[in-house]
C-alpha cells in the first residue's frame, strides 16, 4: 500500500471515529472521496465501520461510567434526554444499538445503553451491524451518483 493510500485510510478511520463521538463530522464525505479516488471499497468499508463502531463503543463506555459532568460538557446531552430514552432501552435493549448510526439520536442512544448497563456484547453486535449498514448504503449511493456523471 502506498503512503498516500495509508493516510487516506487513517483519515477515514479518524473521521469515522470522531463522527461517532463528540465531534459532529461527516465521515460519509471522506468515504465518498476515497471511493471516487478508486480506493479499495471493501477495505474502505471495513475501516469506516470499525472507526465508527469503536467511536460508538466509547460513547457506550462513557455512558456506563455515568459521569454527568463529562457527558453534559462534551456530548452536550442533558441528563433528561438519557432518561427519556429509558423506556426504549427497557423495551428494545441492545437491539436499539442498531440506531446508533443516526445523526441526531446516535450519541444519546449509545450513552443511554451504557448508562442503563445494557448487555455489552449484544450492544456491540447490533451497533456493528448498524454501522456497517450505514456505510454500505452510503457506498452504494456514492457509486450510483458517480455512475450518473
pLDDT at 12 (0 to 100): 95
Q: How confident is the model at residue 147 (pLDDT cuts 50, 70, 90)?
A: low
DSSP 3-state of 131: helix
- Could you report the per-residue pLDDT of 54-84, keeping only the tens digit for each? 999 999 999 999 888 878 877 778 888 888 8
- Could you report the per-residue pLDDT of 19-67, keeping only the tens digit for each? 888 677 789 999 999 999 999 999 999 999 999 999 999 999 999 998 8
> Cell 465518498 sits at which residue?
32
pLDDT at 110 (0 to 100): 92
Lowest mean pLDDT among 33-42, 117-126, 140-149: 140-149
pLDDT at 82 (0 to 100): 84
Cα–Cα distances in Å, from 21 out to 27, 143, 147? 12, 27, 32
Q: DSSP readout, 53-72?
A: HHHHHHHHHHHHHT-HHHII
Amino acid at each position: 500500500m502506498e503512503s498516500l493510500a495509508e493516510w487516506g485510510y487513517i483519515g477515514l478511520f479518524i473521521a469515522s471515529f470522531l463522527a461517532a463521538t463528540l465531534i459532529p463530522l461527516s465521515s460519509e464525505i471522506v468515504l465518498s472521496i476515497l471511493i471516487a479516488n478508486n480506493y479499495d471499497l471493501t477495505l474502505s468499508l471495513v475501516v469506516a465501520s470499525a472507526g465508527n463502531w469503536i467511536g460508538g463503543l466509547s460513547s457506550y463506555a462513557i455512558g456506563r461510567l455515568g459521569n454527568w459532568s463529562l457527558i453534559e460538557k462534551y456530548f452536550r446531552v442533558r441528563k433528561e434526554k438519557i432518561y427519556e430514552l429509558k423506556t426504549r432501552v427497557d423495551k428494545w435493549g441492545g437491539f436499539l444499538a442498531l440506531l446508533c448510526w443516526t445523526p441526531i439520536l446516535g450519541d444519546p442512544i449509545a450513552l443511554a445503553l451504557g448508562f442503563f448497563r445494557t448487555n455489552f456484547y449484544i450492544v456491540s453486535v447490533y451497533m456493528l451491524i448498524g454501522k456497517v449498514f450505514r456505510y454500505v448504503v452510503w457506498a452504494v449511493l456514492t457509486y450510483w451518483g458517480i455512475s450518473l456523471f
